[in-house]
Every structure is written in structure tokens, then in C-alpha cells.
Amino acid sequence: MKIEDNEFFEIKKSNISGFGLFSKVCFEIGDVVLKWNLNNEIKKEDIKDFSKITKIGEKYYEFCFPEGFVNHSCIPNVKNIGTNEIAIKKINIGDEILTDYSCDESLGGEMICNCQSKNCKKIINL
């Protein structure tokens, strides 16, 4: 099976923000959970929602399914390494896939965090 087959994820209502990406399989620490699709380059002036954008070098890319549904948390279970999201905790079936947006290259924006974790940063610099 390939990660791109959508057999690994489903979109469901998230307690953090709108809808989120939830696992249909287990991932162990160190597993590649997602590989980013960088086919959707976007101009900075056309960006409406910085939480669905990544910047690599001087180029901006808009995320689609599945990576576009990964919500921010101050207690993430995946970490961005290159163009992959790697499991930093065991992810069980039904767990929401969560990353820390503040660890990505700076986009020059900010957002209010809704993760409600004990150590929530409240404001996330994007």
C-alpha cells in the first residue's frame, strides 16, 4: 500500500479546528506518516489561509488532501522533516494527525492556537 491511497486517513470533525486528518492505521515512532504534495505552488499575495501553506526557499505551496487537513497542536504527534511528516509518538487508529506549525519555515503570519493543551503557546507565529 502507498500512503497516497487514502487508505491511511480519514477526514473528521476536529476538537481543535474545523476538520482534521485522522489515522486509519497505526504508525510507530520514526514512520513517515505523510509525504507532502508540492504540485500546488501559490503566489504570496494570493494566500488567504497561512495554516494551509508551506514555504520552501522562496516558493509557497498550498496543501491539499491529506496534508491540508493536518491541524496544529503544541503537543504534536508528527514533525516536519524536509517534505515529510514523521511520527514522533505512536499514532493509533482514530488519532488525529497533529503538527507544530511554528516549527516550519517562517511565513510571516500568526494564528491563535486552539489545541487546549496544558502548555499551549496561545499565539503561533507562522
Condensed to tens digits (0 to 9), the pLDDT of residues 10-44 reads 989 999 988 899 999 999 999 999 988 777 788 88
Supply the range of the domain harboring residue 66.
3-125
pTM exceeding the 0.85 threshold for the entire prediction: no
* pLDDT tens figures, 45-83: 888 776 677 777 778 887 777 877 888 899 999 998 888
Which CATH number is 100's domain given? 2.170.270.10
Return d(Cα 118, Cα 96) in angstroms, integer: 18
CB-neighbour burial class of residue 83 (10 A; exposed 0-12, middle 13-18, buried 19+): middle
Give the chain's domain count: 1
